[in-house]
Structure 1
Amino acid sequence: VEEVAPLLAEKKNAVPVFCFGENQNNNFPAKSLNDLLLSACSTPPDVDCKLNFHDRLLYIYTSGTTGLPKAAIVKNSRYLWIAIGYHYALHIQDEDIIYNCLPLYHTAGGILVVGQALLFGNSVVIRPKFSASKFWDDCVKYNCTVAQYIGEICRYLLAQPERPIDKQHKVRIMSGNGLRVHIWEKFTKRFNIEQIYEFFGSTEGTASLFNNNGKVGAVGFISQIFGTFYPVILVRVDPITAEPLRDKDGLCVTCKPGEPGQVIGRLYPKDPIRQFDGYVDQSETKKKIIQDILKKGDVGYLTGDIVVMDEDGYIYFKDRTGDTYRWKGENVSTTEVEGVISKILGQTDCVVYGIQIPGTEGRAGMAALPDPERKINMKELSSDLHRQLPSYAVPLFIRLVDRLETTGTYKLTKVGLQKEGFDIHKIPDSIYYLDKETKCYLPLDENTYQLIHSGSLCL
């Protein structure tokens, strides 16, 4: 850094982005940043094409809340809105150095943070992979003042042995989503974080919420005085189908304080900030649109997220609807996992869903498989799943059932299965858990169940 800094100072348009960490794949030759800077042209290149504010800039794949992962369209306008909004919401200063250990193919890492370097010239420290043991060491070494998180990161950091360096860093701001209420104050106190900025949003969505005053557990705020002017509303949904409920006039029913509801972002075609650019697949785009919300003809974006608002207007995340659950900081598409399992088992029906485990963030994957004669080879199933799915998407539990319940229209149901979770005292079926050491499914007995339930056995 000491060698590069003078060179950066000479180049007025240079963006001070410092990257560290080993190239684990070693699939490209190492080059000196000094040489690259000296050989770089000092004048802008000639550009033949005319760039437009509404041009497509890139695609970011997201699992969404229904169906398979899909390519969300990110236009120039959206990229600018996301990065600029983040900058001013956090009150990021010119001298701030931002620590980023999240994947750059995620909006959080690749737009929110990297955008601060590209648009505002902030220094950004990029770590190829999150390390709980090195997190604060990195922040101290590179004088970071702002850092990002997801809920799992905060929990992993708390699980590390306490060290003096926990408070020797200069990080004053941490932002992200998923910091749960039961560890919020413990986290800020142990690591001496002045301000937590929790937010709610998605890559493609138009519903954004922000908690900028440190209200413990809240993901955002909607003023109860000017709530009708804010383009985010909460509507009641059917607890089984998650479909918005309608009144006698065919309009959505808004939620009262303390009542769970789905977040909807109202769309305004003439407002670039409130436009839903959707996905490359237009049929998927249509699934996320809802009409006649508060009045005939108005249009909105269905987030698929269930939240609760208190009497003061603070919003608290409750659950996700549809075919997605979140585990290890990743959105897992149940449709995708079901497709892989069905193929492995010769196109057998199966149901995949997320269940809650005490002491963990998000939901752990569980698959219910019809196997009345108990013929499935669990060792082979585990091996095939690890070969065809990323580690975070491999179900942690397998439940063997005699048959799967269906609706009147022959759709597989999972609500009842989700409620039962992995409680062997209530479930008569055979249940297997994924052993972390052997990566094989083993029978879930009373002793193992108690260890998982108490948090002594980490999955």
Structure 2
Amino acid sequence: MLIFIIVNILAGLVIVPLFLYLRNPYVFKDLHYACRLIRAGFRMHSKIKSCPSMVGSFLEKVDAHPNKPFVVFEDTSYTYRQADGRSNRIARVLSSSHVGVKEGDTVALFLGNEPLYVWSCLALLKLGCAAALLNSNIRARSLLHCLACCDATVLLAAADLRGAVEEVLPSLLQQGIRVFILSDDSDSEGIECLGQRIQQASEQPLSPQLRANTTIKSAALYIYTSGTTGLPKAARVTHERLMQASLMYSLCDVRDDDILYLYLPLYHASGFFMGLCGAMDKGITIILKRKFSTSQFWNDCRKYNVTIVQYIGEIMRYLCNTPKTSTDREHRVRMAIGNGIRADTWSEFLQRFGDIRICECYGATEGNIGFINYIGKVGAIGKEHFLQKMMTPYALIKYDTEKEEAIRDSRGFCVEVPKGETGLLVSKISKRAPFIGYAKNKQQTERKKMRDVLVKGDEYFNSGDLLNIDHQGFVYFQDRIGDTFRWKGENVATTEVADHLLMVDCVEEANVFGVKVPGHEGRIGMAALTLKEGVDFDSTATHQHVKAYLPSYARPQFIRIQEALVVTATFKQMKSALVEEGFNPGLITDPLYYLDNSQGYVPLTQHIYNSITEGRIRL
């Protein structure tokens, strides 16, 4: 009898897992991911109890391995102890009577990728201040707007961005913003230099009392996202959100002996959240680059023994488009973490560069929902998990792209789409999954909220993304709604581009949208223009203006001259037909222009069009 019972138990131990596997071939990976989620939850709770700020994680690593390299930049290595000391210097200068920064203040950082960026962010965390991470490409009106909407009292700028600061200096001083350059000298009245003061400051630890009133709900960062309003929106990021984002590497199985190659801008959520904060949480080494370089990428990975790289989809395509070499698989990279890679590029990348685990992720800077493709399914941006859905409920709902609104039933509630169909992703707003919104922009914050979605009185975050979830739970990105398109990893607000085009003397009206180009991720900018009566298109003036006021990724690559823009009955510009028609001169009778970087806007001929679509001209 005992033997019979033992045999049955052993059979059950074999049959039950087999039955589960046959029903769901990913069951064991799902369970493994559940364990990681639970561990991450306990770690989050422990971190909050010890210190409600990312600075706690960093200081733990300083104590644990002070001599371990933290940042390697242009062949100079800085240990965790050295990073701690340099950030202490900056914090002491900022909190001195000369500058006067105190807990709760907002300080804007206007720097490119360099160690000073990291030290400055750490310094502000140690002082309990919020850092407004300015895009180093913005200028003029956009720069002033970004400073104003987060109530920054101080601007810290890199020496190489002094010219951009000087352009708006009178306005900054008028607004009472103190301007400091992180260099040794300046000949501009109204701009002070902190280089020597920082060099002379002490590296001794600062008192935690300087941030005694900081809680997990306090603002840690302001990160700017593009929107339909035409100017960047400042997403308010709390310490809680930052600490949650820093756990991403743990969920992706990053080890504490990994070495990260980080070239993404630190002013972006991907570079700052997953890159810098993820590295601090795991205590790993960062190989920091000013910007991405196709020619240097793999050589750097070999030189520094890189094991983890971050990416955006366009970067992976760039790497796949380089000439093949015999050393393509000679590296130690074991994992790539990022978002936006197309399925064909994904497969090609693995085939060419070897067995590298692609960990595709999905999320938004201000959002309260995210996905991770922990299985590695090619083309998917994530996978559903029962624990995640239990903790942060979400749904895909039917959406009318023509009316630009969710479809509701006779009771007034939204309608969930069946598995396998495309719908708008919405995520329930709760204490566990809050939506903080945008600084000094209540209107845009409210626009991202939906109420009475599935039951009376509920409230959901509108992601603005159309997704598809198949029967196995894999999540696929389909498209974005609204007036923002993405090009070269940057979100472009069409209204902002249109506003700049309207400043050109010959332009009467401007309708900006994104069009697809074969072989490229995202959509590239195109503008349909009407001209003032009796005036010809001034290609030179248009090129000079967009070059002066817009970053390269936001400049319209194609321009279409129309006699009149098509609008709806409520005078809303129509974009869908223009997007579908694209920029083919063989189909469009309107005059078309192409942005040649050396000549400016030139007539778009069939030869140029064919060269672009066939890949002979790279955009």
Whether TM exceeds 0.5 here: the answer is: yes
Aligned to 1:203: 365
Aligned to 1:107: 269
SS at match of 1:61: strand
Deviates more, 1:57-66 or 1:148-157: 57-66
Aligned to 2:213: 50
Of residues 445, 459, 483 in structure 2, which corresponds to 1:323? 483
1:283 correspondence with 2:336: no
For residues 351 and 584 of structure 2, what CA distance do their matches in structure 1 show? Answer: 35
Unaligned runs of 5+ in 1: 1-7, 30-34
Aligned to 2:496: 336
Specify which structure has the higher proportion of helix. Answer: 2
Query: Offset at 1:232?
Result: 2.5
Of residues 398, 408, 413 in structure 1, which corresponds to 2:559? 398
SS at match of 1:253: coil
Of residues 256, 259, 263 in structure 1, which corresponds to 2:418? 256
Deviates more, 1:9-18 or 1:419-428: 9-18
SS at match of 1:276: coil
| Change beyond 3 A, Cα 1:133–1:87 | same
For residues 373 and 150 of structure 1, what CA distance do their matches in structure 2 show? Answer: 45
For residues 108 and 28 of structure 1, what CA distance do their matches in structure 2 show? Answer: 28
SS at match of 1:157: helix
Deviates more, 1:221-230 or 1:249-258: 221-230
> Deviation string for 1:315-337 (max 9, x for gaps)?
21121111110011110010100
Of residues 431, 434, 442 in structure 1, which corresponds to 2:595? 434
For residues 199 and 116 of structure 1, what CA distance do their matches in structure 2 show? Answer: 14
Q: Structure 1: which amino acid aligns with 2:234?
A: A
Is the 2:222–2:236 Cα contact (8 Å) retained in structure 1?
yes
| Change beyond 3 A, Cα 1:102–1:167 | same
> Deviation string for 1:322-367 (max 9, x for gaps)?
1110011110010100110112247722100001111111001000
Of residues 232, 236, 245 in structure 2, which corresponds to 1:69? 232
Query: Offset at 1:15?
Result: 6.9
For residues 148 and 325 of structure 1, what CA distance do their matches in structure 2 show? Answer: 22
| Change beyond 3 A, Cα 1:228–1:45 | closer
1:417 correspondence with 2:578: yes
Where do 1:238-249 residues align within 5 Å? Answer: 238-249=400-411
Where do 1:380-391 residues align within 5 Å? Answer: 380-391=541-552
Is the 1:68–1:336 Cα contact (8 Å) retained in structure 2?
yes
Q: TM-score, normalised on structure 1?
A: 0.90
| Change beyond 3 A, Cα 1:279–1:420 | same
Aligned to 1:5: none
Aligned to 2:143: none
Aligned to 1:123: 285
For residues 435 and 62 of structure 2, what CA distance do their matches in structure 1 show? Answer: 40
Is the 2:507–2:529 Cα contact (8 Å) retained in structure 1?
no
Q: Structure 2: which amino acid aligns with 1:396?
A: Q
Q: Structure 2: which amino acid aligns with 1:162?
A: K
| Change beyond 3 A, Cα 1:345–1:414 | farther
Query: Offset at 1:160?
Result: 1.5
For residues 278 and 535 of structure 2, what CA distance do their matches in structure 1 show? Answer: 55
| Change beyond 3 A, Cα 1:443–1:9 | closer
1:155 correspondence with 2:208: no
For residues 410 and 115 of structure 1, what CA distance do their matches in structure 2 show? Answer: 45
> Deviation string for 1:166-192 (max 9, x for gaps)?
222111010101110111111012111
What percentage of aligned pairs have identical amino acids? 38
For residues 291 and 412 of structure 2, what CA distance do their matches in structure 1 show? Answer: 49
Query: Offset at 1:61?
Result: 0.6
For residues 597 and 71 of structure 2, what CA distance do their matches in structure 1 show? Answer: 35
Is the 1:97–1:124 Cα contact (8 Å) retained in structure 2?
yes
For residues 367 and 360 of structure 1, what CA distance do their matches in structure 2 show? Answer: 19
Root mean square deviation, CA, Å:
2.8
For residues 212 and 74 of structure 1, what CA distance do their matches in structure 2 show? Answer: 25
Is the 1:15–1:117 Cα contact (8 Å) retained in structure 2?
no
Q: Structure 2: which amino acid aligns with 1:433?
A: Y
Of residues 42, 64, 72 in structure 2, which corresponds to 1:19? 72
Q: Structure 2: which amino acid aligns with 1:172?
A: R
Q: Structure 1: which amino acid aligns with 2:602?
A: L
SS at match of 2:529: strand
Query: Offset at 1:257?
Result: 3.3
Q: Structure 1: which amino acid aligns with 2:297?
A: F
Aligned to 2:45: none
Q: Structure 2: which amino acid aligns with 1:329?
A: G
Deviates more, 1:157-166 or 1:293-302: 157-166
Where do 1:216-231 residues align within 5 Å? Answer: 216-222=378-384, 231=393
Aligned to 1:32: none
Q: How many matched pairs? A: 444
SS at match of 2:502: helix
Query: Offset at 1:449?
Result: 1.6
Q: TM-score, normalised on structure 2?
A: 0.67
Of residues 202, 208, 214 in structure 1, which corresponds to 2:376? 214
| Change beyond 3 A, Cα 1:203–1:51 | same
Is the 2:506–2:536 Cα contact (8 Å) retained in structure 1?
no
SS at match of 2:275: helix
Deviates more, 1:216-225 or 1:96-105: 216-225
Of residues 236, 242, 248 in structure 2, which corresponds to 1:79? 242
| Change beyond 3 A, Cα 1:107–1:15 | farther
SS at match of 2:209: coil
1:184 correspondence with 2:237: no
Q: Structure 2: which amino acid aligns with 1:408?
A: A
Is the 1:235–1:244 Cα contact (8 Å) retained in structure 2?
yes
Deviates more, 1:425-434 or 1:366-375: 366-375
Larger Rg: 2
SS at match of 1:47: helix
Query: Offset at 1:64?
Result: 4.0
Aligned to 1:28: 183
Q: Structure 1: which amino acid aligns with 2:300?
A: D
> Deviation string for 1:131-186 (max 9, x for gaps)?
11111111111111111000111011111122333222111010101110111111
SS at match of 1:410: coil
Q: Structure 2: which amino acid aligns with 1:167?
A: R
For residues 218 and 46 of structure 1, what CA distance do their matches in structure 2 show? Answer: 43
Aligned to 1:457: 617
Where do 1:297-316 residues align within 5 Å? Answer: 297-316=457-476
Aligned to 1:448: 608
Q: Structure 1: which amino acid aligns with 2:414?
A: C
For residues 296 and 399 of structure 2, what CA distance do their matches in structure 1 show? Answer: 43
Deviates more, 1:170-179 or 1:63-72: 63-72
Query: Offset at 1:295?
Result: 1.3
| Change beyond 3 A, Cα 1:96–1:11 | closer
For residues 345 and 65 of structure 2, what CA distance do their matches in structure 1 show? Answer: 43
